[in-house]
Chain A
Amino acid sequence: MPQETNMQRTIPIIVCFIFGLFMLVQFFVPHHASISAYQTVLDWMQIIFVFTLLVGVISYAKLNAKKITRTQTGWGYNLIGLIGLAVMIILGLSMGTGEKTPFLWMFNNVQAPMQSTMFSLLAFFVASAAYRGFRARSWEAGLLLAVAIVVMLGRVPLGNFISHWIPDAANWILRTPSMAAKRGIYIGIGLGTISTSLRIILGIERTYLGRK
């Protein structure tokens, strides 16, 4: 690793401070020049974000290519991944992404079915995890279990078939006690976000710079 100078850590901290302070102060300045500059910085962020995405894609391709060239165990699967990546990029960039394009066909017939099946698998794993973990060993665990059962039954016709009180109870739980805890968590997250953001802008939090 090359020797690191102070400047290499100071410049990013200054950039972070300037842009952080500007975006914060801009909120309180409703002038059109300020709003325009704000929009420009948002565009800049999106552009840089695409390049960060590109870094991830290159890393993914490099990692897979390395395993293939070294013929490591399961290298064939890595080749499949790379082929999938290459096909999507070639189709998307050469023939567009609109309706009736091969790119969209790949999305509808390859990506979307696999993605939804992958998530639907979680139904089985959640059920088995619940069977093992949901033992009403304490009042809190029992409460969690009872609420989960009422909400699940309240969302399907079976709940209404048993009693119309079940959907009503499920709706009340979601609207009142569950909402209360959700708001409490939101307020906590909000306070945490604000304090962390301030630490970042003021240069106290520097973990994004990496290790020295």
Chain B
Amino acid sequence: MHTGTLIAAFLTLCIFSFLYKDNPFYKFAEHLLVGVSVGYVLVIALNTTLMPKLLNPVFKEGRFDYIIPGILGLFMLLRFFPKYAWLSRISIALIIGAGAGVAIPATLQAKIFAQMQATMINFASVDGIIVFAGIATTLAYFFFSKEHKGWFGTSARVGTWFLMIFFGATFGYTVMSRISLLIGRMQFLLGDFLHVIK
């Protein structure tokens, strides 16, 4: 048996042991998972972003304008020195500001116009009318500037029915995705590890 399979099986059983109760094996696996995951994300970020977007342009291509984000990045590390920690706000402000600027047109297109367009295209059918009614009533439920009374209250109440259907469907989907992960782990333990199933 491969060493990798043995280690993976041991760690899988360590995590499953939490189903009994919190125990040292679970805690060991939990802390190892956090440490390894943090290390993985950092190495991937360094290899896919810092090297090709900062170090290579500055040191290999002579693009010295990229020193600016490098300095702004270093400002972030000044958070560990209270006297200069305020400089990290400039870097955060750039990310937040530029992110907000990008988000406005992107959101308008993807989350509002595209959704409205898809609703209008299929309007001439029973399903299309149900979808339109669902969107209108769901939005009515989330509109709190008008009291939920009379016809508006009724439509808001219908909106909650649509929301319940959505939550139920999402719940069902989530459960099934977790179950499929569980099946995958069981297949690994009983197949690759114990060779009980093929």
A: which residues have CB within 8 A of B? 1-2, 4, 8-9, 11-13, 15-24, 26-28, 40-58, 60, 74, 77-78, 80-89, 92-93, 97, 103, 105-111, 113-124, 126-127, 130, 140-141, 143-152, 155-156, 170, 172-191, 193-194, 196-198, 200-201, 208-210
Q: Mark B6-29, 1 if CB is under 8 A from A, else 0.
A: 011101101110110000000111
Q: Does B108 contact A (CB under 8 A)?
A: yes
Which of B7, B80, B98, B181 lies at the interface centre, i.e. has the most chain A CB atoms within 10 A of its CB?
A: B98
- Nearest Cβ on chain B to A22's Cβ, whole angstroms: 7
Chain B residues whose CB sits within 8 angstroms of the CB of A81 once the complex forms:
31-32, 34-35
Residue numbers in A under 8 Å from B127 (CB-CB): 172, 175-176
Given contacts A78-B31, A180-B130, A183-B138, 17 further A-B contacts (CB under 8 A): A12-B89, A19-B94, A46-B53, A54-B42, A54-B76, A77-B30, A84-B36, A88-B42, A93-B46, A106-B36, A145-B168, A178-B166, A181-B135, A184-B135, A190-B111, A194-B103, A200-B96
What residues of chain B lie closer than 8 Å to A49, measured between beta carbons?
45, 49, 95
User: Nearest-CB distance from A118 to chain B (Å)?
Assistant: 6
* Docked CA distance A16–B173 (Å): 39
A188 touches B42 (CB 8 A): no
Q: Contact between A47 and B37 (Cβ–Cβ < 8 Å)?
A: no
Point out the residue from B8, B28, B110 that lies within 8 Å of A77, measured CB to CB.
Answer: B28
24 CB < 8 A contacts A-B: A2-B82, A11-B90, A13-B93, A15-B90, A19-B98, A20-B98, A44-B69, A81-B31, A84-B34, A88-B40, A92-B42, A97-B47, A130-B171, A144-B165, A148-B175, A155-B173, A174-B169, A177-B162, A184-B134, A184-B139, A190-B108, A193-B107, A200-B97, A208-B93
In the complex, chain A residues whose CB is within 8 Å of the CB of B136: 184
Assess the B165–A147 pair: CB atoms within 8 A: yes
Residue of A nearest to B177 (CB): A119
A92 to B119, CA, bound (A): 47
A residues near B38, Cβ cutoff 8 Å: 56-57, 60, 84-85, 88
Residues of A within 8 A of B41 (CB): 53
Interface assignment of B190: CB less than 8 Å from any CB of chain A = no
Q: Which B residues contact A (CB, under 8 angstroms)? A: 4-5, 7-9, 11-12, 14-16, 18-19, 27-47, 49-50, 53-54, 65-66, 68-70, 72-74, 76-77, 79-80, 82-83, 86, 89-105, 107-108, 110-112, 115-116, 118-119, 127, 130-139, 142, 159-176, 178-179, 181-182, 184-185, 188
Query: B100: shortest Cβ distance to chain A, in Å?
Result: 4
The answer to whether A111 and B40 touch (CB under 8 A), given A143-B168, A183-B135, A187-B139, is yes
Return the 10 tightest CB-CB contacts between A and B, nearest first. Answer: A180-B134, A88-B39, A84-B35, A184-B138, A23-B101, A147-B168, A92-B43, A151-B172, A190-B111, A16-B97
Q: Is the CB of A127 within 8 A of B175?
A: yes
Q: From residue B33, how far is it (CB to closest CB) to chain A in Å?
A: 4
Note all chain B residues with C-beta closer than 8 A to A196. 100
Complex formed: what's the CA distance from A4 to B175 in Å? 50
Q: What residues on B are CB-neighbors of A15 within 8 Å?
A: 90, 93-94, 97
A20 touches B101 (CB 8 A): yes
Q: Given that A109-B4, A110-B11, A114-B15 are known contacts, is A188 also in contact with B165, CB under 8 Å in the complex?
A: no
Give the interface centre of A42, A77, A115, A173 by most chain B CB atoms within 10 Å: A77
- Compute how far the CA of A191 lies from the CA of B104 in the bound complex, rounded to whole angstroms: 9
